[in-house]
C-alpha cells in the first residue's frame, strides 16, 4: 500500500513531527543569536573563518528551516537550509577524532546527534521535494 505525499504530509503524526523538529531548530537558532560572542569564540577556536559571520549565517539557516518545516511552507527549501547547516557545522565543530578522553566523547555525542538531525532533515527534504 503506497500513500501519496499529500496523504503523508496531512497526517496528525506528521504535523506533530514537523512542529517538534521545527520547534527545536527554531529554539536552537534563537539561542545561537543570543550567544553569538560565545559561539563565535568556539568557532574561532575550531579554525572557522569569519567566525561571527559564520555563526550568525548558520543560525539563520536553522531559524528559516525550522519555521519552514513547522509551517510546511517551501518545505524543500526549508529542509535544504537545515541540511546545509548540519553538513557545514557537524564535521567542523564536532570533530571528535581530534580529541581525547571526555572531550572526544562529548564531541562524538554532538556529532551523532547532529547526524540524526541531518537525517531527519533529509527525510523532510525527500517529502518536500515531492510536494509540487
Q: How far apart (Å, rounded) are the C-alpha atoms in residues 38 and 5?
A: 41
71-83 pLDDT, tens digit each: 999 999 999 999 9
Number of other residues whose CB lies within 10 A of the CB of residue 70: 19
What pLDDT shows up at residue 132? Answer: 55
| 10-residue mean pLDDT series, the chain (132 residues) | 62 95 98 96 94 97 98 96 97 95 96 97 93 62
Contact 86, 39 (CB under 8 A): no
pLDDT for residue 6: 64
In whole angstroms, give the CA distance from residue 82 to residue 77: 9
Q: Is 45 exposed, middle or buried (0-12, 13-18, 19+ CB in 10 A)?
A: exposed
Unique residue bearing C-alpha cell 557545522: 89
What pLDDT score was predicted for residue 32? 95
Per-residue pLDDT tens for 28-39?
A: 999 999 999 999
Amino acid at each position: 500500500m503506497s500513500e501519496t505525499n499529500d496523504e503523508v504530509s496531512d497526517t496528525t503524526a506528521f504535523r506533530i513531527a514537523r512542529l517538534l523538529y521545527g520547534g527545536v531548530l527554531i529554539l536552537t537558532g534563537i539561542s545561537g543569536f543570543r550567544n553569538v560572542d560565545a559561539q563565535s569564540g568556539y568557532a574561532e577556536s575550531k579554525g572557522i573563518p569569519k567566525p561571527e559571520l559564520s555563526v550568525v549565517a548558520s543560525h539563520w539557516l536553522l531559524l528559516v528551516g525550522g519555521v519552514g518545516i513547522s509551517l510546511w511552507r517551501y518545505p524543500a527549501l526549508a529542509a535544504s537550509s537545515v541540511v546545509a547547516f548540519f553538513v557545514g557545522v557537524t564535521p567542523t565543530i564536532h570533530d571528535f577524532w581530534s580529541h581525547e578522553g571526555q572531550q572526544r566523547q562529548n564531541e562524538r555525542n554532538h556529532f551523532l546527534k547532529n547526524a540524526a538531525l541531518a537525517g531527519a532533515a533529509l527525510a523532510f527534504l525527500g517529502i518536500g521535494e515531492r510536494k509540487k
